[in-house]
Amino acid sequence: MTPEFSRVVQIARIREGTHRVVEATGTEREAVAARLGLATVRQLGCAFDLDPAEAGAIQATGKLRARVTQTCVVSLEPFETEIAEDFQVRFVPAGTETDDFDLEADDEIPYHGAVLDLGEAVVEQLALVLEPFPRKPGAALPETPEEATRPFAALARLRGR
């Protein structure tokens, strides 16, 4: 299956300090929005600096930039969010991922064959930085009356107290 936003780079072409910029097209942004459950993705791109590392790994530093429209979980209104996220990942040959659980280590993204996919890495990073329960600025849950917070308030009303 081809990802919604795919930009492959040949491993053999990556030298120390290789720089790549990837930008999603309108059709790709629509597909990414559908995949991530967003109202729209108005901008999606990333600048990568790539460096070869040991055992076929590629160290990548990225500057993700996106503008998305999310739906507020409180008001159900759409609102726009600007995202600017710097990140580091490590592309590694499939099957060589480390089993160590280290929160400080760079995330590993396995690749197959002689190419890695920068576009899919961008979508994965976007998914990681999105708020799982987005709230529009200023949106608040309605306050509940004090009586409703008492456990037997409904029974007291029925008894006429």
d(CA 52, CA 6): 21
Evaluate whether residue 140 is within a structural domain: yes
Per-residue pLDDT of the chain (161 residues; tens, 9 = 90+): 678 999 999 999 999 999 999 999 999 999 999 999 999 999 999 999 999 999 899 999 999 999 999 999 988 999 999 999 999 999 999 988 888 777 787 899 999 999 999 999 999 999 999 999 998 988 777 666 665 566 666 666 667 65
Residue 130, in any domain of the structure: yes
**How many structural domains compose the chain?**
1
Domain containing residue 79 = 8-158
Q: Is residue 2 part of a domain?
A: no
The reported pLDDT for the residue numbered 141 is 74
What pLDDT score does 81 carry?
A: 95
Is the residue at 3 inside a domain?
no
- Considering only CA atoms, which of 79, 58, 56 is closest in space to residue 67? 79
